[in-house]
Chain A
Amino acid sequence: MSGSHHDNPYLAHHFDTPRQQLEANKLGIWLFLGQEIMFFSALFVGLMIFRSWYPQMYHTAAHELSVPQGAFNTIVLICSSLTMALAVRWAQMDVPNNNRTVFWLCLATFALAGVFLVVKYFEYSHKIHVGTLPGKFFDPSNPEFPAALKQFDNAKLFFGFYFCLTGLHGIHVLAGMGVIGWIMVRARRNEFNSKNFAAVECVGLYWHLVDLVWIFLFPLLYLVG
């Protein structure tokens, strides 16, 4: 056991150098992100299969989604990715008040995530209102049920995928808000500097994945019916 790292309080006992520790942490989070891609994969495969089986139904049902709301949420998430990336950048720098900047950038990310969920809430409540819900809650007898959809018995499939995909994505947004909040607490304690920023970077990577999933979800659900 070399004693070279005893002077570095950020280095865990089983690592030899800061680089080794940082790259181990990042490889771990990248593997986790790979896992996340595969976690979403079956939903995307199912969605695309039923899209090619029932193009007319899919086309009609997709038109019931609100493109302005989806597009607005896309912009929101892109902006939150920017603030998160900047938070990582400041966590890496030994400049005065860098933890303060990290805190405010994380707060901005957190707020944008909140905006995303609020818009999602309006989208969901509209669908609950008109009865375009998955499975047993799908209700064509609702007076405001979209007329164009009435001819498709299997439109509940589309909304099943819509709610599963956006719901699972929404859960990831919530989890992201949780870990960003944890970073905010640690930034308040002035914990981050050029030797100790792995936590911010790993949370950032996770948040960018949440954005990446939406980058594909948005066109596939809202645009290319």
Chain B
Amino acid sequence: MAHASVSADHGHHDDEQHIAHVTPIKVYFAVWAALIVGTVITVAVSYVDFNVILGVPNVNLFVAMIVAITKALLVCAFFMHLKYDNKIFAVTFASAAIFLAIFFLLTFSDLMTRGQVDDKQGTFVKDHRAQQQVAPSATPQRSAH
């Protein structure tokens, strides 16, 4: 790659004029392969009900999100060039993710804790949703389409 190395070690003027950072082609194919593998993993894992096996809710969700976040980071870092680019782009994108997390957390702080206080006494009462929150257990495994 003739221009692949044009970056920081060149003079300032050069740096301002030569702007392309060309990523080696094998990097793109390696990332693509990793994304395919990630998709296969996440589909395969979904056929195993960890919630039942481990007796803890949301394990499948957790596993799926770990895989999805890994895939997303790969896309961001290589396909979207965040690994090589000015860090301000990564900061911009990450700040959106942070405000998304705030949106999730504070909205959930309401919707998951409703109806737990006795209106008249202001005291803690039993969570009326507790029964509904049990992880799906007796439901059949996924049927093929």
- Inside 8 A of A45's CB, which chain B residues have their CB? 103-104, 107
- Inside 8 A of B29's CB, which chain A residues have their CB? 82
- Inside 8 A of A141's CB, which chain B residues have their CB? none
Which residues of B (108-134) have their CB < 8 Å from a CB of A?
108, 111-112, 129, 132-134
Minimum CB distance partner of B1 in chain A: A93
- Inside 8 A of B22's CB, which chain A residues have their CB? 89, 92-93
Minimum CB distance partner of B63 in chain A: A224
In the complex the two chains form, is A55's CB within 8 Å of B16's CB? no
Does A56 reach chain B (CB closer than 8 Å)? yes
In the complex the two chains form, is B46's CB within 8 Å of A27's CB? no
Does B56 reach chain A (CB closer than 8 Å)? no
In the complex the two chains form, is B20's CB within 8 Å of A60's CB? no
Does A179 reach chain B (CB closer than 8 Å)? no
Task: With A27-B89, A86-B25 as known contacts, state yes or no: A208 contacts B80, CB within 8 Å.
Answer: yes
Which residues of A (150-178) have their CB < 8 Å from a CB of B?
none
| Nearest CB in chain A: distance from B20 CB, A | 4
Select A216's contact among B72, B86, B99, B142, beta carbons within 8 Å: B72
In the complex the two chains form, is A59's CB within 8 Å of B17's CB? no
In the complex the two chains form, is B80's CB within 8 Å of A205's CB? yes
Measured in the bound complex, the distance between the Cα atoms of B62 and A220 in whole Å is 11
Which residues of B (1-44) have their CB < 8 Å from a CB of A?
1-3, 15-23, 25, 28-29, 31-32, 35-36, 39, 42-43
Secondary structure type dominating chain B contacts? helix
In the complex the two chains form, is B28's CB within 8 Å of A85's CB? yes
Which residues of A (179-199) have their CB < 8 Å from a CB of B?
194-195, 197
In the complex the two chains form, is B112's CB within 8 Å of A52's CB? yes
Does A30 reach chain B (CB closer than 8 Å)? yes
Does A128 reach chain B (CB closer than 8 Å)? no
| Nearest CB in chain A: distance from B22 CB, A | 5
Minimum CB distance partner of A49 in chain B: B111
Minimum CB distance partner of B138 in chain A: A56
In the complex the two chains form, is B46's CB within 8 Å of A224's CB? yes
Does B55 reach chain A (CB closer than 8 Å)? no
Does A118 reach chain B (CB closer than 8 Å)? no
Does A68 reach chain B (CB closer than 8 Å)? yes
Select B103's contact among A41, A93, A212, beta carbons within 8 Å: A41
In the complex the two chains form, is B60's CB within 8 Å of A224's CB? yes
- Inside 8 A of A78's CB, which chain B residues have their CB? 32, 35-36, 39
Does A26 reach chain B (CB closer than 8 Å)? yes
In the complex the two chains form, is B85's CB within 8 Å of A93's CB? no
Q: List 28 A-B contacts (CB under 8 A).
A: A19-B16, A22-B19, A26-B85, A27-B86, A27-B88, A30-B92, A30-B93, A33-B96, A34-B95, A41-B100, A48-B104, A48-B108, A53-B132, A55-B57, A78-B32, A78-B36, A81-B35, A82-B29, A84-B79, A89-B22, A205-B80, A208-B79, A216-B68, A216-B72, A223-B42, A223-B46, A224-B64, A225-B136
Given A37-B97, A74-B39, 19 more pairs with CB closer than 8 A: A19-B16, A19-B17, A23-B86, A27-B89, A38-B99, A38-B100, A44-B100, A56-B136, A67-B43, A69-B145, A78-B35, A89-B23, A92-B20, A93-B20, A194-B19, A208-B75, A208-B79, A208-B80, A224-B46
- The 8 lowest CB-CB distance pairs between A and B, nearest first, are A34-B96, A92-B20, A219-B64, A223-B46, A17-B16, A82-B32, A37-B96, A59-B136
